[in-house]
């Protein structure tokens, strides 16, 4: 050990590369290679929540199923839509919405919640993000069992065509979005602790404004001013995310513009995420 560099090995150029794109990308890449770690941690998260309960993670399925059934029955009466149409609509809407809102809410807390690990173990920041997204995927998979039941019970499969496959790229897009959302909001809400509560209330507002419990169709059919107002749903970004995955699963057509909007937001979000990673990645351990 010496305080001066030894001549044998050339001294490393004393320029910090903490705030470079290269380090940002390397973080994402390193995190991904540690997948054995986050895959098991994600599973562990779910198993731990339902440890010692008889049904285990299937409580996720039951909870969502009950909520969807109650809302489906109530709202189909309120909105005067046949239950056979409306229940699958609400159920899938809820399942996808759960994924969206959890990505935003847990994503914004992703670094704060892992303070201990971040301060004790050197690992890529993205490990925590991958773990969170993987956990959400597992929740989603459990909830999709309800969809399978609906397929048979309400003969939804009769409406399906090859377009159901579009749900797969749609889901992948959703997960890509979950990643940038948790990187961006995760980093900034670690610095500014007000962001998490702001997102909490915003998500609640989005839930009401996004056609999860209601359909844009019923509003448009009323015509006149109400129909005009229905078009306001178009400015709600989560509407488009929901649509590209719900419609294929119900065998309904998807207008291409939903896809374009989602893809555009994904690209913009990732650009922001990469800049956030470049500039603030190294600051997160200082902020948590």
Partner 1 sequence: MTEHVRIDTHDAWVEFPIFDAKSRSLKKAFLGKAGGAIGRNTADVVVVEALREITLSLREGDRVGLVGHNGAGKSTLLRLLAGIYEPTRGSAQINGRVAPVFDLGVGMDPEISGYENIIIRGLFLGQTRKQMLSKVDEIAEFTELGEYLDMPLRTYSTGMRVRLSMGVVTSIDPEILLLDEGIGAVDAEFMKKARRRLQDLVARSGILVFCSHSNEFLAQLCETAIWIDHGRMRMSGGIEEVVTAYEGPEAGAHVAQIRRELAAEALASGEGDR
Nearest distance from C-beta of residue 285 to partner 1, angstroms: 5
For residue 171, give the nearest of 146, 129, 197, 141 by alpha carbon. Answer: 141
- Cα separation values, 107 from 99, 127, 211, Å: 11, 12, 23
Binding flag, residue 15, partner 1 (CB under 8 A): yes
Q: Which of 41, 199, 213, 262 binds partner 1 (CB under 8 A)?
A: 41
Binding flag, residue 26, partner 1 (CB under 8 A): no
Site string for partner 1, 103-142 (x = CB under 8 A): -------------xxxxxxxx-------------------
Q: Tokens in use for 151?
A: 């397929």
Are 237 and 166 in contact by the 8 Å Cβ rule? The answer is no
Write 82-87 long-range contacts (CB < 8 A, 24+).
84/154, 87/150, 87/154
Q: Tokens in use for 202?
A: 């915003």
For residue 58, the SS3 value is helix
Q: What are phi and psi of 160, to 5 degrees?
A: -75, 150
Nearest distance from C-beta of residue 8 to partner 1, angstroms: 8
Binding flag, residue 29, partner 1 (CB under 8 A): no
Are 103 and 133 in contact by the 8 Å Cβ rule? The answer is yes
Q: Is the CB of 2 or the CB of 161 nearer to partner 1? A: 2
Give the DSSP per-residue string, 37-53. HHHHHHHHHHHHHTTT-
Nearest distance from C-beta of residue 55 to partner 1, angstroms: 17
What letter would DSSP give residue 56? T
Nearest distance from C-beta of residue 199 to partner 1, angstroms: 12
Nearest distance from C-beta of residue 9 to partner 1, angstroms: 7
Interface region with partner 1, contact rule CB under 8 A, candidates 6-14, 57-65, 96-104, 176-184: 6-14
Q: Is the CB of 124 or the CB of 230 nearer to partner 1? A: 124
Q: How many CB atoms lie within 10 A of CB 13?
A: 7
Q: Is the CB of 246 or the CB of 278 nearer to partner 1? A: 278
Q: Tokens in use for 178?
A: 């979950």
Binding flag, residue 54, partner 1 (CB under 8 A): no
**What gap in Å lies between CA 99 and CA 6, rounded to an integer?**
54
Nearest distance from C-beta of residue 64 to partner 1, angstroms: 24
Q: Which of 20, 26, 37, 105 binds partner 1 (CB under 8 A)?
A: 37
Give me the count of residues in the chain: 288
Tokens 């399925």 locate to: 61
- Cα separation values, 251 from 64, 146, 165, 243, Å: 22, 17, 10, 12
Q: Which of 7, 11, 223, 235 binds partner 1 (CB under 8 A)?
A: 11
Site string for partner 1, 163-202 (x = CB under 8 A): ----------------------------xxxxx--x----
Binding flag, residue 40, partner 1 (CB under 8 A): yes
Q: How many residues bind partner 1 (CB under 8 A)?
A: 43
Residues engaged in binding partner 1 (CB under 8 A): 1-6, 8-9, 11-18, 34, 36-37, 40-41, 44, 47-48, 51, 116-123, 191-195, 198, 282, 285-287
């Amino acid at each position: 050990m010496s305080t001066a560099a030894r001549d044998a090995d050339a001294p490393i150029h004393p320029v910090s590369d903490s705030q470079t794109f290269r380090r940002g990308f390397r973080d994402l890449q390193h995190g991904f290679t540690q997948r054995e770690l986050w895959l098991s941690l994600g599973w562990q998260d779910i198993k731990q929540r339902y440890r010692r309960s008889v049904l285990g993670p299937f409580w996720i399925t039951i909870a969502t199923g009950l909520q969807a059934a109650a809302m489906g029955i109530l709202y189909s009466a309120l909105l005067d839509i046949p239950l056979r149409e409306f229940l699958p609509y609400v159920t899938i809407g809820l399942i996808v919405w759960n994924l969206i809102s959890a990505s935003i809410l847990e994503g914004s807390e992703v670094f704060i919640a892992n303070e201990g690990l971040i301060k004790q173990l050197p690992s890529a920041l993205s490990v925590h993000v991958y773990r969170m997204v993987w956990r959400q995927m597992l929740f989603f998979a459990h909830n999709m069992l309800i969809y399978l039941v609906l397929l048979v019970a309400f003969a939804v499969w009769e409406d399906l065509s090859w377009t159901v496959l579009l749900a797969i790229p749609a889901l992948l897009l959703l997960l890509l979005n979950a990643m940038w959302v948790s990187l961006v909001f995760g980093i900034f809400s670690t610095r500014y602790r007000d962001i998490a509560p702001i997102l909490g209330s915003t998500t609640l507002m989005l839930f009401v404004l996004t056609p999860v419990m209601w359909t844009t169709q019923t509003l448009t059919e009323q015509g006149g001013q109400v129909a005009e107002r229905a078009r306001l749903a178009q400015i709600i970004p989560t509407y488009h995310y929901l649509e590209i995955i719900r419609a294929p699963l119900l065998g309904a057509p998807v207008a291409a513009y939903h896809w374009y909007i989602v893809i555009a937001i994904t690209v913009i979000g990732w650009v922001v995420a990469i800049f956030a990673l470049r500039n603030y990645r190294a600051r997160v351990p200082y902020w948590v």
